[in-house]
Structure 1
Amino acid sequence: MEPLSADQIRRSFVNSTKSQVKAIVLPPKFTELPWASLDFLGWRDAKAPNRGYLVVRRDEVVTGIALSTQTSGAPRRFAGLCDLCNTAHHVSDVALFAARRAGTAGREGNTVGMYICADLACSLYIRGLKELDVPQGETATPEVRAERLRTRLESFVQRVLQ
């Protein structure tokens, strides 16, 4: 992913009000992000742990989606699977994120949801840049996994925009 400015990110959100966008806290060490290893920019809000953000470049257009989730309870001993990157985690490390739909549908309360890595670091997991605690059965190359991730991400974004 090509680096984005804070202004580009703030202008990109399709399912947030102006006041919500203004309140967004950018990820820690924003200027030091590993942009070349990211398929999308995802982070949890440090001031509001139940909020997350996902920003993706699609055909030269930057699209940002605000997400909400519930804080996870005590860690459990089961595995969960991220619907974006198909990475297995302890179930407490995968969260159901809900995104309000863009436009009228979102204002009417319609949402779409997806189970995603709780820290939104899918790109780093599929490239082996972030360590996993659960054995993986995936044998595809990081390039193939990245392409699958981008396909699933595009589908999710389309559902938010519909």
Structure 2
Amino acid sequence: MHWQYSDILLIVAVVGITLFYSIWFYKKSTKIGLDYAKFFLLSSFIFQYLFKVLHLKYGFIFSYLFRISLVVFIIVYVKDIFFSEDVSSELEEKQPTSKKKIYSIILNTITVLCIIIGAQFKILHWEFGWINGNILLSVGLVTATISIIFGIKKS
């Protein structure tokens, strides 16, 4: 929408997210592949975004790095969620057995992927046929809403 001072606000938000996530990542005692993939995705997004907003030279390099990190994140995420052999984790969770839990994981995965890819499409003004950032973000927000509605426990 190109509102006045929106660039400054977005840059402050991006720096804040980076700072808080970096502190969390550093303090986390046991890190798995998904944690490193998230950190790589966030770092590459931050640099790509800042180079694009500030109109700096060689921003296309970070754009390619972000695309690569997005693919790596998706692969690691799918591998970790669906094909993980290790049943133990920090929270000692078991593999989901109920259909509700499996559907919840699928909805959350669709939500995350649509929002991340939709944001990428929106920022870079990409379109793939009728698929664009608005469609992907809308699907991500609708699936997030459905996930929240079905996730509320009845008392």
Q: What is the TM-score of this pair, normalised by structure 1? A: 0.35
Q: What is the TM-score of this pair, normalised by structure 2? A: 0.36
Q: Who wins on radius of gyration, i.e. which is larger?
A: 2
Whichever structure has more strand as a proportion of its residues is 1
Q: Relative contact order: is structure 1 or structure 2 higher (C-alpha 8 Å, sep ≥ 6)? A: 1
